[in-house]
Each structure stands twice: as structure tokens, then as C-alpha cells.
Amino acid sequence: MAQVYGVAGEHSAQRSVAAFKKTILTLLGVIAALCVGEGVLAAVLFLRTTSIPWSVMAAMLLIAICWASRYAMRRVEEFEKQRLSYRAGFLGEYEVAIELEGLSDQFTVFNNVNTKRGNLDHVVVGPTGLFAIETKNWTGLISATADGELKRNGKDATAPHVRKFLSRAMMVREQAMVLTRSDDFYIRAVMVFPKAHVEAPYGSTGKVHCVRLNRLRDYIDDPRFSAKLSKERVDELIRALQGIACMDVDFSDTATAGVTRIPKGHAVLDATIESAA
């Protein structure tokens, strides 16, 4: 079993929970606003401090209620889409983390590594090289555009996922170069698709390779896809990655083997995993 640092999917889980909290706060805010409006209307009618007919004020309140309800529903739908997207991302990262743990004990896996350019789902180092891994828990058919970006079911992706991911991977390499005082190693950027069918041959997405989850370990074990590293260089990179990961105060630097940890306090996500097991 590979040695593992960090908690799989923690970043996605936190964002999923944050989206759920926004939904609750939006609904509570609308309810509070409606209560205040009804209170003001009741006070005005009771004290008779205005010459506006009560029927007009009731109509104004009804209009306000309708507008607030429509606004709230739009916001709730938006936050719910975000929550489901982050939840799917978390589940995909969890699947990939379990797969990576099946690597031999010569490999070390770092989950949820934050860089100055964003989050990396996994970073793996071992005798076959250094790998930055991003999970895309998409469905359907994945292919490549002419300029090396992703297509999903024949349509161009809505964001430059390949370029952004490669930028984060290069940031980790630059940080490792500084900490190891060396530049004679290469980082391979790999996008993993647990559910989608991939038809993006190596090279069609530039320096990023796209693989199915069931091929991930074979890919990492294959020395053709990265530079072979000595035991000394592997140990050096592990220390560097520990330093990079621990710049994030929330990173769990306790190593485990054979047990994929999940974010604490995320009962909904925990239950989803247990029901799928």
C-alpha cells in the first residue's frame, strides 16, 4: 500500500457544505424579510399612521413576497447546482484516492495540496516519477479540441481546464525545485475520469494526459510516462511536498496506509460513501 498524506476531497467537501449553508441563509433571509414586512404592515394598519388604503398596502406586500420568493428560488437553485457539483467532485476524488492507495509502498500520495494557483487533488511521487493528478467526475464522452482543451459529449468545455490544471502542476514543480535546489525532475500532469469514456490520445491535450480510473495505476507504474527517480531523489521530493502541503494550516500531515480518510464533520458525504460501499 502507498503511504498517504492529507484528506481526499476535503476542498470539494468544504465547498459543497458552504453552498448548502448559503442555501439555508438565503431562505432564512427571505423569511426574516417577509416577517419584518408583515410586521410593518400590521403596525401601520393598527396605528393608522398613513393615508394609503390597506388594500393597496396589502397588494404591495403581496408583490414584495412574490419578488422575494422568485429571487430566493433562483439563488437556491444556483447554490444547489454548486453543491451537487462539488459533491460529485468529492466522490470522484475519493474514488481516485482509493485507487492510488493500491500503489506499492514505494509510492507516496499527497491528497488535497493547495498551491498559489489553486488546489491539486492528488500528487504522487515514486520510482517512476512525480505526478500531479486532477479528478474530473464527468459522464459521457471526453475528447480533445484542436487547441488541446477538453470536449464533453462533442461540445467544448466551458473553461480551459487543461491550461489551468497544467498551471497548478507547474507551480508545484517550481516550489519543489526551490526546496530541493534542483531542476532535474519532471512532473507529469494527469486528468482522471472515473465515469466518462475517454477518447483523447496522449498528446491531444498537450502536456496533460487523460486516463480512465481503471488505467491510472498501470499508467503511474509505467516508467515511459515520467522520468525514473532514484530512492534518494524520491525521499527528497517527499520532504519537499510535505513542506509545500503543510503551508496550508488545515493540511493533515499524518501518514496513513490502506485507509482513505474523509473530511470530518461532513455527515451527508459520509453517509453517501457508506451507502455506495
For residues 79 and 20, is the Cβ–Cβ distance under 8 A? yes
Range(s) of the domain holding residue 144: 3-10+102-276
Taking the CA atoms of the chain, what radius of gyration do you get in angstroms? 25
Residue 149 lies in a domain: yes
Q: Which residue has the higher pLDDT, 45 or 179?
A: 179
Domain presence at residue 183: yes
Each residue of 227-240: pLDDT tens digit?
789 999 999 999 99
**pLDDT at residue 192 in the model:** 96
Domain membership flag for residue 61 = no
User: Does 172 reside within a domain?
Assistant: yes
Of 8, 1, 3, 2, give the one whose Cα is nearest residue 251: 8
Residue 214, pLDDT > 90, answer yes
| pLDDT tens per residue across span 96-117 | 999 999 999 999 999 988 887 7
How many residues are present in the chain?
277
**Average pLDDT for residues 217-231, to the nearest whole number?**
87
Instruction: Give, in order, the Cα–Cα distances in Å from 269 to each of 7, 84, 125, 253.
Output: 13, 11, 28, 22
- The count of structural domains within the chain is 1
Residue 73 placed within a domain: no
Evaluate whether residue 57 is within a structural domain: no
Residue 93 domain-assigned (yes or no): no
Task: Answer yes or no: is pLDDT of 19 > 80.
Answer: no
Residue 230 within any structural domain of the chain: yes
